[in-house]
Structures are given as C-alpha cells and as structure tokens.
Structure 1
Amino acid sequence: TCCATIWHSKGYDAGDAVMANRVVEAAWGWTAGGRLPLVVDASSCTLGIAREVVPYLTPDNRELHAELLVVDSLVWAAEELLPHLTVERTLGSAVLHPTCSMRHLGDEAHLRAVAEACADEVVVPDDAGCCAFAGDRGMLHRELTESATRQEAAFVTSRDFDAHLSANRMCEVGMDHATGRDYYSVLLALEHATRPGAGRADRSP
C-alpha cells in the first residue's frame, strides 16, 4: 500500500487523501489495532505515514493514526537490533548520505550509529544535502541531482571509500548518478557485518 508521499509531493490532494486514509486503515490492521509498531523501510515513507498523511485523514482515521507507532527502519535497527547483534567483520571506511526525510525525522544519529557498527571510519561530507532526486524527478532530469550534489559528489569522489551508504533507495539511485559510485542501504551493510561465516576480506553485501 502506497504511503501517499508521492501524491503529497506532487500536490495531488485528491489522490493524497485517498492513499492517506487507505494506508492508515491498512496499518491499523497490520499492527493489530496499534499494538505492534509499524516499521517502515524508507525514511521518506516513514515521514509520509508518520506526519504528512495527517491533514488528509478523516476524523475517524485521525483517531486511528494517533494510536499508531510509526518507526523508521534506521531507528528500529539502531535501537532494537544492534544491542543483540555480534559484528563479525567491518568495512574499512564508509561515506554516508543522510536524506532530507532523515533530517526531518531526526534520524541522522541512527544512520551514523548503524554505519559505525559496520565500518571503522564513517564520514558524512560537510556539503551533504538534498540530492534533488525528488522521488522520480531525477530519473527524468538528471541535471537536477548533478547540480544539487555537485559539492558533495566532489568530496565523495576525491578519495576511495569501501562503502557508500544511505537508507532510501531513490536517493541512493540519485547519488549513484551524481558520483558514479554504488550507494546502498546501511541496513544491507549491517546484515553483512553481522552475518556469520564470512571473512573480513569479503566486503560486499
């Protein structure tokens, strides 16, 4: 079920209202009436379900939404998984791309915490900012991302990193385009770092 963010970001209010109410009603069932946390895989979708849907909800669904605990997967991994995992191998270095949604949600520290479990050196470029991919705009207008990330990309490509990490697939695609490097989710890096049976030399997820 769509989180409604794509409708919200394009200003399609009627579609936004339909999807906002639909996802909250579905989430009420998924979470057994709010008893289970709803862990959301992409930070932009977390922001959408946790905050952006609220103005578009019916009064009844707004009451349901108030009972939901919406948790970004980064926060869940940092707070619920890390304390119970054993790191088997680490990367030498990783560069991070915090997304706009992570900043709105206040999740940047969780991104760093998960990355620091996976890599000996973790770097956030000083000029890291919005990648301007904007859901699908970067697919159609690559120059938007190239312009928005010019300084960040210059830093990323100025040296070698063992991993290029974020936690939102479309932003990762945008950074792939901007830097020519392969960005992937820090959660994949965590899975690999804690996977039994592989040696340190095996550094790819």
Structure 2
Amino acid sequence: MGYDDMVEKTLAALWAASDSGRMPVVCDNSSCSEGLVVAAEKAAEKHPEFHPLRIVDAVDFAAEHVLPHIDITDRLETLAVHPTCSSTRAGSNANLNKLARSVAASVIVPDAWGCCAFADDRGMLHPELTASATAAESTEIEHATFDAYVSCNRTCEIGITRATGHPYQHILKVLDRLTAPAIDDSSTPG
C-alpha cells in the first residue's frame, strides 16, 4: 500500500513536471529509470491519465540527443565498462557502449561482468555479497590498467569500485569531462 501511494504521488509529480507527458522525464540512474518505467506501466492500468508519461534513462537520452551535437575535445586510450542489471533489462547497454566508444579508443566490457549484488543498500550492509558476486570480474581486470572505469548506476559504481579497487563513475561524468571547455584561471584574481 505504501508503495502504491508513493507511485501515485511520484507519477502525479512527474506528470505535472513533464507538462502532462509532453516532455520526457530523464533519469540519471539506470535502476531508478527501470523502476519508474515499471511503476508507470503498472499505474497506467489504474490511472490512464498518466499515459503517455515517458521515462528515459540518461544514457539513452545522451546517446540519442546529446552525442550527435557535441564535439569530444579529448579521448581516452582505454575505458572499462560495467553494464548493470537494469541497463541490461532496459536495453540501454548499446547506448552505454556507444557513449563509451565516443570517449575512448579501446573499450573493454569484461567477459565476466555480471550483477554486482549491491542491490540498493544491501551492498552497504553486506559487502561480502558484492565481493562474491564480482570476484570473477575483479580477477579479469585486476592486472589491467584503464584510463577510466565507468557504469551507469551510482550504487553499482560504489559496489564495483569496492570490489575492484578502481574508481568507477557514471559514463556521463566522463563524457562531460571530455567535452567541457577548459576554464582559464589566469584571468581570475587571487
């Protein structure tokens, strides 16, 4: 009942913020994007007024609507990518890889990648679950060095960072860093 109440409140707020579904709702965390899509689909049966609320993951939005309009000012040599359960179920991995290939000459998705078992806060409470779930992936990349390590979900990034010892971050942070103009501090007093 609490879940249903929060879904209705959230979708009503998103419906209003999206100008009654005219604009897409872009979400920057793959598990949240997936959760909102599922919630919207279920709620549409009970509340058809929320149709056609469009939830779009930021990875998909960036690949389709941002990437064609930007110049990558710098490229990395190597990039390790950790897809997520949610990006896999949502079909976003192709766009995750598209963004990765736009910023790096060599993109590696470990063969042994899989669920990091972080599961919202479960990985914080039981880090041994994540360590066990990511052991094969960690072994696969432990002796390699990459210019950056990316994913598309903050809790997964925390889990895989802990498991591998490498600093995983959202692919959009790397994309932003490689497209943002440099700030000239020489004209700033102080």
Which residue of structure 1 lines up, in the alignment, with residue 14 of structure 2?
27
Question: Take 1:129 and 1:65, find their aligned partners in 2: how far apart are those partners?
Answer: 34
Note if contact 1:16-1:56 (Cα within 8 Å) is conserved in structure 2: no
Alpha-carbon distance, 1:18 to partner: 1.5
CA positional deviation for 1:164: 0.6
Per the TM alignment, residue 196 of structure 1 is displaced from its structure 2 partner at its CA by 2.1
AA paired with 2:152? A
| C-alpha distance in structure 2 between counterparts of 1:66 and 1:142, whole Å | 40
Residue in structure 2 matching 1:98, options 72, 83, 97: 83
Q: Deviations over 1:113-133 (max 9, x none)?
A: 111111111010011110000
Tell me which amino acid in the other structure corresponds to 2:137. E
Structure 1, residues 17-58: CA drift from partner, whole Å, max 9, x if none?
121111110110010001101111101111111114543677
Structure 1, unmatched stretches of 5+, are 1-13, 199-205
Shift of 1:158: 2.0
Q: Paired residue for 2:136, among 151, 155, 180?
A: 151
- Paired residue for 1:10? none
Q: Tell me how many residue pairs correspond in the alignment.
A: 183
Could you say what secondary structure the match of 2:169 adopts?
Answer: strand
CA distance in 2, matches of 1:185, 1:86: 19
The answer on whether the counterparts of 2:78 and 2:147 sit within 8 Å (CA) in structure 1 is yes
Counterpart for residue 201 of structure 1? none
Structure 2 counterpart of 1:41? 28
Give the RMSD, CA atoms, in angstroms. Answer: 1.4
Shift of 1:91: 1.1
- C-alpha displacement of 1:157: 1.1
* Structure-2 separation of matches of 1:124 and 1:15: 38
* Structure 1 pair 143–53 and aligned structure 2 pair: CA distance change class (3 A): farther
Q: Deviations over 1:89-117 (max 9, x none)?
A: 01110100000000110000100011111
Q: Which runs of 5+ in 2 are unaligned?
A: 184-190
**Structure 2 CA distance for aligned equivalents of residues 158 and 68 of structure 1:** 45
> What residue is the counterpart of 2:181 in the other structure?
196
Contact 1:95 1:164 in 2 (8 A): yes
Judge conservation of contact 1:21–1:58 (CA < 8 Å) in 2.
Answer: no
Aligned to 2:187: none
For 2:49 and 2:35, the matched residues in 1 are separated by 16
- Equivalent-residue separation in structure 2 for 1:74 and 1:23 (angstroms): 22
Q: How does 1:115-194 map to 2 (within 5 A)?
A: 115-194=100-179
1: CA distance between counterparts of 2:40 and 2:22? 20
Q: Percent identity?
A: 40
Deviation at 1:66, TM superposition (A): 2.4
Q: In structure 2, what is the Cα distance between the partners aligned to 1:23 and 1:146?
A: 34
Which of residues 89, 108, 121 in structure 1 aligns to 2:74? 89
Structure 2 length normalisation: TM-score?
Answer: 0.92
How far apart in 2 are the matches of 1:29 and 1:177? Answer: 39
Aligned residue for 2:42?
55
